Structure 1
């Protein structure tokens, strides 16, 4: 599924065209590797930073990065794989899209990759078979959820980063009653933000991260259970703090509301850091989803977003494995994290990130337990699709047109229609 943070402009894609053309005739030459990707924005990063760093220790391997526009990537890649013309390395979408490619024989098994031990089970979960036995893509990057805030507004109103839910709503009350600013920059027109930066952002603190997510998968927990109802209850409380006409407010509108200093707090994905670095003329910071009470274990959505695998039909598998092994290193992790602020390496290496807000996001891994969005692994395969249901019901809950209990009931009934462990 394509999230808004993956949508790239045509102009950005044009910048990568030269990279594509230069590699077109070289993909099958000896000693070369061609990488398929939807990340057109990263073309210069690969050509100017990552590939030169790899070539310092592997001077005999030429690497070419060949992106396709993200909206065309899945279909274009499928066509290339079927025709036998795909590159040696495949940038992997998380979960079922790549799992299908593995089942169809297009991706190599990576169980024996030397550096795979540098990655946690959570990090590997997006590119592993349902039984957990086979790894078919190397985890490459995640995005982390939290809240980004305008430091100047907080200073003006003498506010501190909230640690607990009570503190969070006191901050919102102060912004609403004592200033001209909109407390929360979020709309419900596009729906996906309400699930991604709303439900999946604050929810892990309610359902206890991986324990709760796995209980849903195993059928030991239901979406009608208290943690899920309570998550929607908190979302319903956001409504008074949103801007006028938030029901018609789109994702880009929310970004503009924040970067124009008209809103104080932005429910965020870390991918927004780059946008705000480019557009905001004020200092901003970030805080994780507040917990129920001080001292509680905190849980963050540290969502697996990008992986990379080996084309099973590549003629350069040995070289491809050398590149993947290097990509498990601390060197690659630090290079990538600093080149693409807000996209975080999934390995266990300690790294130094220069961007202060990106460093703040990744520091939460030290204090909080990581999990992934609970609708992404297996639970959105059937009809109705749980991810799409979460978009719809979360937007309705915030709009005030559906109760938290009704949202829980609708999503649970949807799962029960097709998912055996929930029947």
Structure 2
């Protein structure tokens, strides 16, 4: 069955405003069922978690529901789902917890392709422990992150390998399972940043070889919350700093403070929405989520192919990276214009694209682009269309023809 993008777009109220959103890598628009679930939870009587009264039991159900939904999205155990305000916050919590056991001479491997949220927490934890940081390098031409280099980077003292499953800057999808196999051969822990990859296709924790995987719900049609998943036994072996009276069970002891129960209801609704992207899919929610994201992935790839071909046809556009496996995200520059100028001009025409380094600090620093403004990023999501790509390409043509002047 062909992907019904008109049906899918109808589920996003914000699209009625008429803007073209090629900024999904920075955050997608919110699906209507998510808005409805959050609103309903906020309208209903609420309370903190308790078995003593109905509103308290609702809160318990909202937490349990979100854990189960994220587990279905990622192929995880609900008891191993830790919820939090952002991927960055959760990664820092884990980095501080793991880093407390590192010693001088231990090693941590990070990559220059990653979002800084999967770099700096580990670098800082290593520095605090006196451990050594080793760097995996990307190919500056293709943007690939060769998995073979990890054989030289990891060793008996490697404690952790952190790697992205999808670059938020140029889309590169490294061979995470191969990297994980190399890391596990020496007993190292593998941490995978799935923030940019999870929205764009089926994800399986075990298939990736990830010991820990983090994702952000607002990158897949949900609210501003994040989740980190692992085998519950891995969480059980860790003792984070926490308040004495707060829960000491797993996964609760890794979650600080009272969560936003309405937003957790929105997380569940977002996963249910993804499970409905392929209306022909049957079976349990995990099966339907995988089918829905597979259908969305095929649609995104077709739209993205049109975008890449159009950018390549324009001599005034420089595209960065050409990885063979990638999420539908590309960074580029328009000749004679700073990235911020390009983004602003496109914004005046109703097209939403990011500019700068998007926290991919090491990538843009290595490429020598960060100090001059980074690049412009276009990221395709399943509600984008070929017509929107053509509109973007047409606006780029007008921008080039006008010498960079805003004509609207």
Superposition TM-score tier, normalisation by shorter sequence: under 0.3
TM-score of the pair, normalised by structure 2: 0.27
Greater helix proportion: 1
